[in-house]
Amino acid sequence: MSVPPSKIVLPRYIDPRKLVLQGAKLAGQVPSGAMPRLASVVADIQSDAVAELEFDRDEQGRYLVSGTVNIYVALKCQRCLENLDSELSARFRLAVVWTEEQSRQLPEQIDPWIVDADSADLAGLLEEELLLALPIVSFHRESECAAAIGYSTGEPAEPAANPFSVLKQWKKPG
C-alpha cells in the first residue's frame, strides 16, 4: 500500500545537487512547527505546509529546483482586527549555487538558492517562499467583515441598533 503524497513528511534537510543528478521529484508535508518565522508574522498557522518539488538541470547545466508550496494560515484583517482565513501559495524556480558571486550571474527570472554544503535546509527554503507570498495588506470581504458598513447576518439591521448607520448619515452630503 502506498502512502498518499500529502501524508509524506518531507525531510528537513536535503542534498539538492544529489537530487538533481537523480532527477528526483518530492511531494509531501512540512510540519508547521518547522516554520517559526512564519508563525511569528501570522495570527495562526492552521495546517502543515504541502510542497511539490522537481530537481533537474537546464541546457546550461544549472541545477534547478522548481515547485510549489501551500499552507493555510489566519491573518489579521486590517479593518476589524479579527482573524481572516487565508491560503498562502508560492511557485518557485531556483538555481542551486555555491556562492553569492554565482548567484549574481543567474538570469533575472531564476532566483538563487545558495547552498554551500551537501545539506540544505528545505523547510527553511519553503518557509522563505511562503513569507514572500504574504499579502502586504489583508482584509475580509466586505460582506464578511465585522467592521464593514452594512455588515449583518443577512437580515436588514434595525437602524437604531446599528452604530454605523449614524456614521453613514454623517457622510451623506447635505
Distance CA 137, CA 78 (A): 7
What is the CB neighbour count within 10 angstroms for residue 133? 18
CB of 140 to Zn ion, least distance (A): 3
Binding map of Zn ion across residues 74-93, x = CB under 5 A, - = no contact: ---x-xx-------------
Q: Which residue has the cell 543567474?
A: 106
Distance CA 169, CA 174 (A): 10
Q: Point out the residue whose Cβ comes nearest to Zn ion.
A: 77
Q: Is 17 in the site for Zn ion (CB under 5 A)?
A: no
Query: Which burial class, exposed, middle or buried, applies to 124 when counting CB atoms under 10 A from its CB (0-12, 13-18, 19+)?
Result: middle
CB of 79 to Zn ion, least distance (A): 5
The stretch near Zn ion (CB under 5 A) out of 25-33, 73-81, 100-108, 117-125 is 73-81
Which residue number, 17 or 76, has a Cβ lying nearer to Zn ion?
Answer: 76
Chain residues binding Zn ion by CB under 5 A are: 77, 79-80, 140, 145
